[in-house]
Structure 1
């Protein structure tokens, strides 16, 4: 019963998956109840602020629809659940919402200020909330970040989350899989067109004067927030080992 409520976009929320599981309901029926609220002519705009659509992967790897819901959305859905057991779960959810909202309000819940903190928060939540699926949380943590990091720093974060790798092996993997240019030359280790089109990297250019008095321009690939989400998800989905 841990983490009935989590933080998403600095708001206390739960999910349709959690509600279905804890109240012993079919997830399909919970989705139908939410869709009915959203599609209703009266107050439909308000309902749309209570429920945010998301996705999760089932055991076969298929992407399926789910919803995140805030306290008001949960109240509308759960009010139709009756019985002593249902009432007990409602009280637990109310308590969980209260605690999370208080933590957010008072600062007891630390909002991530760095990429490492965001990823660590996501990893902690994934360990305690298996049903929510870790990749969605990682995506929420880093997808919209404007912070870019070096490939070596990305390797450390990935390794810290259980995937055996290092900077050299990650560079090699990225070259072998078409994310960085492996052809020796001035563009060696630069992002490929594929990577740039996907928004996975930005290029940092710097210059210095060498001992011969020649100005040398160097290009360093830096991983964007979207790229961090992309690569972390890719390796953590199967707990991959990056060889070489």
Structure 2
């Protein structure tokens, strides 16, 4: 992929969130609607296209953990709030390449995590589990060696202790299992088909109704070659 090769030529070991989601979208993985901007004019145009409420994030291949650094603003509801958040994030990003991501606010209470890592012995492996803050707290995840079959993906969904989060509960719809299975399969494909990709991290993958949507993502590259 040109995006990956260009990043490797620049000596980079990661893609930005915006770039990472472009890769996901190429593999038919649903991602949030978003626009990368670099100035106030572009910001306001993007806000009108995406629509309020929305989220603003710092976006750079050099920044992996945005929330810990105060580089995410959520529930922005008007131009004034957008301009204020943009100014604050831009100030904190001074000297860092990249821009500000204007992103739709995915409305859903259930957060999942999907990832791909390369095991020295088994090669690309797909990970699935509870996402958001629960990823580190509960460590409720399961792994499979890629490539995955549909049966593998469906089994992964039921292997986690918190599998009931995927069911219809408290007025929320049951997950679209076929779509979630295709996401797991396609994350495995990313690893199988792209040797230069070392890791894929989608966290959170939010259930918007029944539909899983990648809200944040990081792709780590293997620059050793």
State the TM-score, normalized to the length of structure 2.
0.27
> Higher Cα Rg: structure 1 or 2?
1
Higher-RCO chain (CA-CA 8 Å, sequence separation at least 6): 2
More helix by share: 1
State the TM-score, normalized to the length of structure 1.
0.25
